Amino acid sequence: MAIFLASCSAAGKFKHSYNPNAIPADLKKDGYVLLVLKQEVGGFKGTQNRGVKKMMRRHYGAPFEMVSTDDLKDPKYNNTEKYRYIIGRDFNSGLVVATTSSMGSGGGTMTTHREYHEETIIDRKLNSAFPSIGYPSASYSLGMKAFAKFMKKR
């Protein structure tokens, strides 16, 4: 029950915070296949990509393909009529939160950094990016989960 409530919460937060100009109206148009860029960095990239694929399959409601930057070199992806849009993590967006904690009576401190980034959709046919979606998350899979659940109803 708690897992269900947390899942609804992510989609609800997304609905109230996303930038409506960030998602093209024809994203789920018949004949289009959304390309979802795989996360290719970090120690949890495999887990993140599996999570994104699972959430997109379960909630997105339209054709999509997970691709790496190397996959995009395949001539089949030159068809921008079919593969018009690609979504991926925008590492130039979001914020970094630094927290400094005391390490006890020894007087030392420890600073931890947590990065929150947003997803961005790129129109490959027009070679232009939409604004960042406006839903910063610490995890690619969490951001994409909220996106997929939101798009299920569009």
User: What CATH number corresponds to the domain at position 139?
Assistant: 3.40.50
pTM of the model as a whole: 0.74
CA-based radius of gyration for the chain: 17
- Rounded Cα–Cα distance for residues 83 and 62 (Å): 13
- Give residue 126's identity as a one-letter amino acid code: L
What residue numbers bound the domain in which 77 lies?
2-151
154 residues of the chain, pLDDT tens digit each:
333 334 445 556 666 667 788 889 999 999 999 999 888 766 667 788 898 899 999 999 999 999 998 999 999 999 999 999 999 875 454 445 555 555 566 666 655 544 556 678 889 999 998 887 776 666 777 778 888 888 887 7
Secondary structure letter of residue 32 according to DSSP: -
| Tokens encoding 120 | 């961005």
Instruction: Count structural domains, the chain.
Output: 1
In this structure, the strands spanning 34-37 and 64-67 are parallel
Which helix (H) or strand (E) segment is 113 a member of?
strand 109-123
